[in-house]
Amino acid sequence: MSTPRSLDLPPGVVAATVQTPRGRFAVHHAQVEHPRAHVLLVPGWTGSKEDFTPLLPLVAGAGFSVTAYDQRGQHETSADDADDFSLGALAADAAALAETLGTTPVHLLGHSFGGLVAQTAAIEHTARWASLSLLCTGPAALGASPERPLDELVARLDGPEPIGDVYRALKASSLGTHPPEIEAFLLRRFETNSRVGLRALTQHLLDAPDRVAEVAATGLPAWVGRGAGDDAWPHAVQDDLAARLGTTVQVVPGADHSPAVENPVGLAAAWLPFLEDLS
């Protein structure tokens, strides 16, 4: 989850919904008239399209149309409790969006948990993609730790506790540290998550398998990056992920786990040359 600095949409960025064969998805678009290619951005656990909003004008300014979306059950993309929240199903959602956008292949970037979805999409829908970019993510599950007691969160989501109370307990140390409109957005975004979907995504962060060898076997060009102070997957794990994909980690200065919000200009400088070389 990233914390936006502003909820205002930059010039050229439009909020919309996209109807696909797999359902309707809430998106932020930045379109250009004659795009070099299309870029699709997959948010992470408890995240949303807003995690990428400051980056979108920079991507469009480089000549790419770009779409960030809320995954199934996230924020403004609804879901039924009976929906499939497996990594394969979430990857199929990404592929359906790419197909509906009408430009194939599409450059795919996944942030944090979204990186696990993007890796699955690369393996299972290879022909849809021009490249794979992985931002602040790892090769497999993050696992539980004292800092991130994800197993405890799964147990709470299995219980009767209102989801807003789950959020307040999860964020107890940081509540009230942001402007009121941002605090309200963060709570609203968490509360509008599908409870079943959030539990499934949290479980993936506990037990998702390592499929990097399969990703490498696709032959897709790969980019790996992180913020200089990223504190999710250990830096050595991200370095190894990049090496297994035949590349090295691009480090974004002045950023932690959410470079698209914390330093979008730095992220664009580190990432866009990769896309430009392929387009």
* Across 221-235, average pLDDT: 97
The DSSP element (H or E) to which 20 belongs, if any, is strand 14-20
Check: CB of residue 33 under 8 Å from CB of residue 39: no
Check: CB of residue 181 under 8 Å from CB of residue 5: no
**147: confidence class by pLDDT, cuts 50, 70, 90:** confident
Q: Which long-range contacts (CB under 8 A, 24 or more apart) does 145-148 make?
A: 147/231
Per DSSP bridges, beta strands 222-227 and 129-135 are: parallel
Check: CB of residue 156 under 8 Å from CB of residue 199: no
* Across 135-147, average pLDDT: 92
* Across 177-203, average pLDDT: 94
Task: Specify the higher pLDDT residue, 251 or 105.
Answer: 251
Taking the C-alpha atoms of residue 28 and residue 197, their distance in angstroms, rounded to an integer, is 21
* Across 247-271, average pLDDT: 98
**175: confidence class by pLDDT, cuts 50, 70, 90:** low
**105: confidence class by pLDDT, cuts 50, 70, 90:** confident
DSSP label of 71: P
Please tell me the predicted confidence (pLDDT) of residue 264.
Answer: 98
Check: CB of residue 115 under 8 Å from CB of residue 94: no
**131: confidence class by pLDDT, cuts 50, 70, 90:** very high
- Residue found under tokens 């920079």: 58
Check: CB of residue 233 under 8 Å from CB of residue 138: yes
Taking the C-alpha atoms of residue 272 and residue 256, their distance in angstroms, rounded to an integer, is 19
- What tens digit of pLDDT does each residue of 8-56 get? 999 999 999 999 999 999 999 999 999 999 999 999 999 999 999 999 9
236: Cβ contacts below 8 Å, ≥ 6 apart: none
DSSP label of 73: T
DSSP label of 41: E
> For residue 250, which phi and psi values (nearest 5 degrees)?
-90, 120
Please tell me the predicted confidence (pLDDT) of residue 172.
Answer: 67
Check: CB of residue 106 under 8 Å from CB of residue 136: no
Taking the C-alpha atoms of residue 193 and residue 190, their distance in angstroms, rounded to an integer, is 5
Taking the C-alpha atoms of residue 113 and residue 110, their distance in angstroms, rounded to an integer, is 7
CA dist 131 to 32, 98, 162, 253, Å? 20, 13, 40, 24
CATH code for the domain defined by 14-142+209-278: 3.40.50.1820
Q: What pTM did the predictor assign?
A: 0.96
Taking the C-alpha atoms of residue 56 and residue 68, their distance in angstroms, rounded to an integer, is 8
* Across 56-69, average pLDDT: 98
* Across 146-175, average pLDDT: 85
When the pLDDT of each residue in the chain is averaged and rounded to a whole number, the result is: 95
> For residue 255, which phi and psi values (nearest 5 degrees)?
-145, 155
